[in-house]
Structure 1
Amino acid sequence: MQDNDIDRRTVLALTGTTAGTLALAGCLGNGDDDDENGDEDDRTDENGDDAPADLWEPVEDPPDAVYVPTHRESMIMLESLDAGEYRIAPMLSYPHSFWTVAGSDVSRELPEDMSGVHMMFSLWDPETDTVLPANIGASIEVFYEGERVDQRDSWSMISQEMGFHFGDNVSLEEDGTYEVEVDLPALSARTTGDLEGRFTDDETVSFEFEYDQAFRDDVSDVTWIDEDEWGDRGALEPMDHGGHDEHGEHDEHGEHGNHDDEHGEHEHGEHDHHHVPYSQLPAVDAFPGTLLVEADGNGEPPAETDDLPRSGDAAVLATLLESDSRLAEDGRYLLVSPRTPYNRVPLPEMSLNATVERDGETVHDALDLEQTVDDEYGHHYGASLAEVEPGDTVTLEITAPPQIARHQGYETAFLEMDPIELTVPETQ
C-alpha cells in the first residue's frame, strides 16, 4: 500500500528538474531509476521524446460518477486582489493533469513539463461573497524580467477541494520573480438579485510571485489517500481557503457522505483579502417554492441532497417559484440547480431545456433554461413558465453536459446525462 505521505524528495525532484529527468524518475518516484523488475521506466511520447510525468497514476477503472481521488494537493495562496467589481485570489501548485470536455469528449491534459506551476484563480463578488461560476474566458500573460514568456486562455475547472475556479499549467524555465497579468472579460452569465447589472466591464489585474526552491518546498507536501479508498464513491471535503496549506478532512472511515454543512458562510469584512469563499450551492431547504418530485418516486419532496434525482451522478434540484418571485417575469419561475452530489459544487456551462406536459398534451416544448448567477440561490438555470399546474410532468433534457474542465475524481462524472422526469406536486 502507498504511504499516506509522499516522499518530499520525490516531489522536489519532479518539480525542480527537466522533463528528461522526469522520464527516469517514474510516476510516484521511489528514488530508483529502475522499476521493481529491473526495467527502466521509459516515459516517451509517440516521437520518442521524453514525455511529461505526473505525480500519480489515474485510478484504475473508476466509476462513471464522483469518486475519491488518489491524493490531496498542496498549494500556495497569494493575497486576494480587487479588479473593478471582481475580487480574485491567485493560487499556485505544482503542474498536474486535468481533463477537458468538448461536447461529450474528454481529454486528459498533461503538463508540458514539471518545471513550472499549476496556476489557479477563484473569482467572486466581495459585496455578497458570491463565487462567479461561469466560463468568463479569462486570459493569462506571464512575464520574466520584462519579457513575456507565456500567454494563454484559461480553463474553467471544478475540483473537489477547490470547487469552481479557472487556470492552467504554466511552464517556467528559470528561478526568479514572475509577473502575471490576468484579463477578465465581462461575465457571460445572466446575473440577478444584488448581482444584476454588474460585472459588465473588462478588467485587468496583475501580481508577482517568486519561483524558487523555497516555492517548490512549499508545494511538495502532497498527502496520499489510503489506496483502499481510491475510486470509492465519495469526495474529499472542501479545502480551508482561510490560510496556507490547509486541507479538507477526508473521512478516515471511508464514509463519503454529503457535506451539507454551510461551508464558508461567514461574515467577512470588505477588506478581508485572506478569505476565499468556496463555490458551494445552498442546501435543499434553502430554496423556496414548490420542489418538483421524481415522476417514479414516492411523491415526497426532497429534504436533502441524497434525495435529489440524479443524472450522470449530478444531483439536480428543481423548484417552481411563485409568480410574485423577483425572478419570475411571466407566471412562475422554474429554477434548476444541478450540483455535485457531495460538496454541492455548481455545474456551469450545461445546455438544458424543460418540456411541460399535461394529460398527454405539451404545454411548453423544450424551453431553454438560461444560465444564471444569483446572490441568494447561486448558480442555476431558469426560465419563466406562463402556465404550470399540479400534476404536470416536467422533463429536463441535458443536451450538452457541463463544458468545464475537471480535476481527478470528477472527470468520469456529469458526462452521460439522461433526461429527468419530474412531477409538479400539490402545494407543499
Structure 2
Amino acid sequence: MDRRTFLRRTTAVPVGLAVAGCGAPGGESGEATGDAESGSGADTGDETAGGTPPIPRIEDPPAAVYLPGHRKSMRILEPIEAGDYALAPLLTYPHPFWVVTGSYRRIVEPSAGRGVHLMLVCWDPETGVVLPGDAEPRATVSRNGDEITSRSLWPMLSQEMGVHFGDNVALPDDGTYTVRVDLPPLPTRRTGSLAGRFTEGGTATFELTYDRAFREEIVDGLELLEQERWGERGALEPMTRRDDGGMNGRSADVPYSALPPADDYPGTHLVDPDADTDANADAGLPRSGDAAFVVTLLEAGSRLVDGEDRYLLVSPRTPYNRVPLVNMSLRAIVERDGSTIADRRLEGTLDAAFGLSYGRSITDVRPGDSVRIAVESPPQAARHQGYETAFFEMEPLELAIPPA
C-alpha cells in the first residue's frame, strides 16, 4: 500500500473536533463542533474529491499552542516584487481555518470540490522583515481573461508559515490560472530604515497550475505526526524548501517571521515582581493567554520616539517560534504609590531590528513604578490548526520597573 492510498484510508482516524471557544462572533465559547475530516471527504478511488487529503482534527485541544496531527505539504512559486514589496505565493490543499472577530472565533470549512489554499508571504526585500497583517492584499484569479474570484486575503498565523495572508480558493476545473495581487500602502508606523517606505501599493501577477499532478504532490507530501503527540503542547518547526520545489520546511527564498530573542532588545526589561525566572530569557518571559511578551523601557533618544522621552516597547510573540502576534490592541498603565502616572494605548510599529512591536513614549517613569499591560483585543488574525485556541483569554500583565 503506497503513502497516498494510506492517506485516503485515514478517513477512519478516530479523532473528532470539539474546539473550545470556536463559536461564531457573538456566540458563547466552547459550542462549535465539526466533522472528523476536512474537504468533501469523498473517496474517488485515485484521490479524495478535489485532491484534499483527510487530515486529523484534534479532540478537546488545550487553550494554548499545541501540535496538530500533521504537517502540510506545499508548493512554493517563484518570489516576485510588487512596488516596495516582495512576495512569495504558496499553494496547498484547501483546509479548515479559524477567523477571529474581537474575542470570538469561527471555523471556515473548505467548500466541496476543487481548489487550493492560496497563501502569500510578504516582506521587505532590503531587510528581509516580514510585513505585518494590516495591509491585506487582494487576489484576483482569472483564466483566459475571465475572472473566477476576487477577494482580500485573511491575515493568518501558522506554525509552519508564520505571519502570512491566505484563503481557500475554489477552482472550476483543472488548468492554468492567472492571479493578480494588489497590495495597499502599509498603514503600520515604520521606523529606522523602513521609515518613508511602503507609502504606495504594489501590483504583481503570477500563474498557478492546478491539475492531478499538483494534487498528488500535496497529498504525497502530507506527513502525519505520531498519534500520541497530537494535541501536545508545542509547535511545528518553520518550513524549508525541498529540491523538487515543494516545501517540507523553511525556505531560504522565503523569510520566516521570527522575532529576535528577548536578549536582542535593548533597554531596561520589565519584570514580574512575583516571578522567580529571568525576564531576559525567552523561557522566562511574562505570559498571558500562552503568548510570551518582551517588555522593555528604551532610553531617551531612541529612534523609535521623537524628543527626550523614554519609550515603552512591548513585543508579544508565540511561545515557540517567536511569531509576532499581529493586529492586537494593547494599553499600558503606569502607577506609582497608587496614582496613575500614564495611561496610553500602544501603537503598532515595524522596525528592521525589532520587527513588529507595540509602544509609546513615556515621561517621568522611575524604578519601582508598576506597569500594567492590558490586552484590549487579542490578535485579529485567522488561525491555522495549533493556534486556534491560544491567545484569547489574555489577562493583564502586572510588571515593575526594576532598580537601575
| TM-score, normalising length: structure 2 | 0.87
Instruction: Supply the distance in 2 between the matched residues of 1:206 and 1:95 (Cα, whole angstroms).
Output: 21
Alpha-carbon deviation of 1:54?
7.0
Alpha-carbon deviation of 1:218?
1.7
CA contact (8 A) 1:369 1:383 kept: yes
Alpha-carbon deviation of 1:83?
0.7
The equivalent residue for 1:357 is 335
Alpha-carbon deviation of 1:212?
1.0
The equivalent residue for 2:22 is none
Aligned in 2, Cα 1:176/1:222: closer, same or farther, shift over 3 Å?
Answer: same
The equivalent residue for 2:99 is 100
Residue identity matched to 1:288: P
The equivalent residue for 1:73 is 72
Aligned in 2, Cα 1:70/1:362: closer, same or farther, shift over 3 Å?
Answer: same
Alpha-carbon deviation of 1:219?
1.3
The equivalent residue for 2:36 is none
1:294 is the counterpart of 2:272: yes
SS of the equivalent of 1:216 reads helix
CA contact (8 A) 2:310 2:363 kept: yes
Aligned in 2, Cα 1:96/1:4: closer, same or farther, shift over 3 Å?
Answer: farther
The equivalent residue for 1:238 is 238
Residue identity matched to 1:320: L
Instruction: Supply the distance in 2 between the matched residues of 1:392 and 1:85 (Cα, whole angstroms).
Output: 42
Residue identity matched to 1:225: L
CA contact (8 A) 2:7 2:53 kept: no
SS of the equivalent of 2:240 reads coil
Instruction: Supply the distance in 2 between the matched residues of 1:202 and 1:241 (Cα, whole angstroms).
Output: 28
Residue identity matched to 1:310: R
- 4+ runs deviating over 4 angstroms: 3-6, 29-33
Instruction: Supply the distance in 2 between the matched residues of 1:165 and 1:279 (Cα, whole angstroms).
Output: 9
The equivalent residue for 1:228 is 228
The equivalent residue for 1:256 is none
CA contact (8 A) 1:193 1:375 kept: yes
Alpha-carbon deviation of 1:67?
0.2
Alpha-carbon deviation of 1:240?
1.2
Alpha-carbon deviation of 1:22?
3.5
Pick from 310, 313, 316 the counterpart of residue 293 of structure 2: 316
Instruction: Supply the distance in 2 between the matched residues of 1:351 and 1:23 (Cα, whole angstroms).
Output: 39
Instruction: Supply the distance in 1 between the matched residues of 2:73 and 2:257 (Cα, whole angstroms).
Output: 19
CA contact (8 A) 2:290 2:391 kept: yes
CA RMSD of aligned residues (A): 2.7
Superimposed CA distance per residue, residues 19-42 of structure 1 (whole angstroms, 9 cap, x where no aligned partner): xx93543xxx99999xxxxxxxxx
Residue identity matched to 1:358: R
SS of the equivalent of 1:297 reads coil
Pick from 415, 420, 425 the counterpart of residue 392 of structure 2: 415
Aligned residue runs from structure 1 range 125-274, under 5 A: 125-220=124-219, 221-241=221-241, 244-248=245-249
Aligned in 2, Cα 1:316/1:291: closer, same or farther, shift over 3 Å?
Answer: same
Aligned residue runs from structure 1 range 275-290, under 5 A: 275-290=253-268
Residue identity matched to 1:333: Y
Superimposed CA distance per residue, residues 97-118 of structure 1 (whole angstroms, 9 cap, x where no aligned partner): 1110000111111111241100
Residue identity matched to 1:331: D
1:82 is the counterpart of 2:60: no
The equivalent residue for 1:394 is 371
Alpha-carbon deviation of 1:57?
3.9
CA contact (8 A) 1:242 1:276 kept: no
Instruction: Supply the distance in 1 between the matched residues of 2:46 and 2:81 (Cα, whole angstroms).
Output: 43
The equivalent residue for 2:114 is 115
The equivalent residue for 2:359 is 382
CA contact (8 A) 1:295 1:393 kept: no
Alpha-carbon deviation of 1:150?
0.9
Alpha-carbon deviation of 1:5?
5.6
CA contact (8 A) 2:163 2:324 kept: yes
SS of the equivalent of 1:219 reads helix
The equivalent residue for 2:5 is 7
CA contact (8 A) 1:4 1:225 kept: no
Residue identity matched to 2:403: E
Instruction: Give ranges in structure 2 of 5+ residues lacking alignment.
Output: 12-38
Instruction: Supply the distance in 2 between the matched residues of 1:103 and 1:390 (Cα, whole angstroms).
Output: 35
CA contact (8 A) 2:133 2:381 kept: no
Alpha-carbon deviation of 1:91?
0.5
Instruction: Supply the distance in 2 between the matched residues of 1:400 and 1:370 (Cα, whole angstroms).
Output: 13
Pick from 331, 339, 363 the counterpart of residue 317 of structure 2: 339
SS of the equivalent of 1:306 reads helix
Residue identity matched to 1:390: P
The equivalent residue for 2:23 is none
The equivalent residue for 2:283 is 306
1:326 is the counterpart of 2:326: no
Identity of aligned residues (%): 49
Aligned in 2, Cα 1:286/1:5: closer, same or farther, shift over 3 Å?
Answer: farther
Report the number of matched residues: 374
Instruction: Supply the distance in 1 between the matched residues of 2:52 and 2:241 (Cα, whole angstroms).
Output: 28
